[in-house]
């Protein structure tokens, strides 16, 4: 842990890798997690955390101030704590329940983590600011910190009047995750910020929000490329969240055919779980019965999937989706079904 204060980029990167791989491996909380989080919260203000470094983990090659990476890690701790049900809040009765003890220890320091992250929401470095906003987004989901949520929501809304596109989008996503309506961001001059705001479940009944989702999905590939900077509140491709919001707000494949076709023409077999699989389920809410005529929307959507080479090959991911829809999972058979229709 002391390597984090070494000011040696390589040593700091190895320490970051250790934090992710051993102290919070895939969101798992261990007895060492709370003490490590308390230590990191205590060193955030140390100037030695300004050194630029990369994590030793091969899948994270971002060079940024160590401080930003540590803020992001604290946010991951808070996110992991939030995965536990309310029934796990109580102290475990048996000493052998190590996981529950470890989570309880992390819950006990959430206020300390909040106090440590708070000053960096206004940091001069945009990378540090974004990491702090991301960490605060996870912290505010904790019941122990609910009293601060209104104050932080007002802070996020003030970002609508300044800061970068990525920061405004992050603020909009954060408010949405808190079940608030980021209305100010829905009027942002940048379409990516408006789309980020439109994802909020609190805006599910707002026609303007649905219109922004539809507009973004006219070109899903372009929407995926809107954010060149890392946005901590966003996991996976932006189109995944857009599709989820679109499906949440509509009922029939015919309502969303233009958006579904736009996705079908650019997607691939590897992302079926997050984009065209759910759209296929919407097109076939009940398994297809052989001999039943396809609707126009069903036929057009399946035709687009059949025509897209990237959706086929030696990849098993789509098979379960086709089976659930009652459809053949071989390309030639599906093409024959569409042609017959």
Termini Cα distance of the chain: 64
- Written as six digits, the tokens of 101 are 């003890």
> What pLDDT does residue 97 have?
72
pLDDT of residue 89: 46
The two three-digit tokens of residue 34, written as one number: 């709370």
pTM, full prediction: 0.82
- The alpha carbon of residue 280 and the mean position of all alpha carbons in its chain are separated, in whole angstroms, by 22
Place of tokens 């909040």: 114
Query: Three-class SS of residue 87?
Result: helix
Closest CA to 100 of 86, 111, 90, 110: 90
Burial (Cβ within 10 Å: 0-12, 13-18, ≥19) of residue 54: middle
DSSP letter, residue 218:
T
Residue 227, Cβ density class (10 Å: 0-12 exposed, 13-18 middle, ≥19 buried): middle
- 47 burial level (CB within 10 Å; 0-12, 13-18, 19+): exposed
Which positions ≥6 away from 124 have C-beta within 8 Å? none
Residue in this structure with the two tokens 């098979």, named with its chain if needed: 319
Instruction: Please tell me the predicted confidence (pLDDT) of residue 166.
Output: 84
Q: What is the pLDDT of residue 96?
A: 54
Q: Tell me if 284 sits within 8 A of 248, measured CB to CB.
A: no
- CB of 156 closer than 8 Å to CB of 175: yes
Going by C-alpha positions, the residue among 85, 96, 11 that lies closest to residue 55 is: 11
Per-residue pLDDT at 218: 97
Radius of gyration of the chain (CA): 23
Structure tokens at 233: 């509140």
Q: Which residues pair with 65 in a beta bridge?
A: 52
Written as tens digits, the pLDDT of the chain (341 aa) is 889 999 999 999 999 999 999 999 888 999 999 999 999 999 999 999 999 998 877 777 889 999 999 999 999 999 999 887 544 544 545 545 778 999 999 999 999 999 999 999 989 998 899 899 999 999 999 999 999 999 999 988 887 677 888 888 989 999 999 999 999 999 999 999 999 999 999 999 999 999 999 999 999 999 999 976 666 677 789 999 999 999 999 999 999 999 999 999 999 999 999 999 999 999 999 999 998 999 999 999 999 999 999 999 988 999 999 999 999 999 999 999 999 86
Note the pLDDT of residue 230: 62
DSSP notation for 97-128 = -HHHHHHHHHHHTHHHHHHHHGGGGG-SSHHH
Place of tokens 């704590």: 81
pLDDT at 231: 67
296/338 Cα distance (integer angstroms): 10
Residue 52 DSSP class: E
């Amino acid at each position: 842990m002391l390597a984090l204060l070494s000011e040696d980029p390589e040593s700091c990167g190895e320490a970051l890798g250790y934090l992710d791989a051993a102290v919070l491996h895939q969101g798992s909380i261990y007895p060492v997690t709370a003490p490590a989080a308390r230590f990191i919260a205590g060193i955030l203000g140390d100037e030695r955390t300004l050194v630029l470094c990369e994590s030793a983990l091969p899948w994270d090659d971002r060079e940024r101030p160590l401080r930003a990476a540590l803020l992001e890690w604290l946010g991951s701790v808070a996110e992991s704590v939030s995965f536990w049900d309310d029934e796990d809040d109580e102290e475990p009765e048996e000493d052998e329940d190590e996981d529950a003890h470890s989570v309880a220890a992390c819950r006990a320091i959430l206020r300390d983590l909040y106090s440590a992250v708070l000053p960096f929401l206004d940091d001069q470095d945009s990378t540090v600011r974004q990491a702090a906003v991301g960490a605060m987004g996870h912290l505010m989901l904790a019941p122990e910190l609910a009293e601060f949520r209104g104050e932080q929501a007002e802070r996020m809304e003030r970002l609508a009047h300044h800061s970068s596109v990525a920061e405004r989008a992050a603020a909009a996503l954060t408010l949405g995750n808190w079940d608030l309506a980021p209305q100010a961001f829905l009027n942002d001059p940048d379409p990516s910020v408006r789309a980020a705001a439109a994802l909020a479940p609190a805006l599910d009944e707002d026609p303007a929000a649905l219109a922004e989702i539809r507009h973004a999905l006219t070109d899903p590939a372009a929407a995926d490329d809107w954010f060149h900077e890392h946005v901590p509140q966003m996991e996976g491709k932006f189109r995944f969240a857009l599709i989820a919001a679109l499906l949440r707000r509509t009922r029939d494949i015919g309502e969303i055919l233009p958006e579904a076709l736009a996705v079908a023409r650019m997607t691939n077999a590897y992302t079926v779980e997050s984009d065209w699989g759910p759209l296929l389920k919407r097109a076939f809410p009940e398994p297809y019965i052989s001999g039943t005529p396809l609707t126009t929307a069903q036929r057009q959507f399946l035709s687009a999937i059949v025509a897209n080479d990237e959706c086929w090959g030696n990849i098993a991911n789509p098979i379960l989706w086709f089976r659930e829809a009652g459809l053949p999972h071989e390309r030639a058979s599906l093409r024959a079904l569409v042609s017959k229709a």
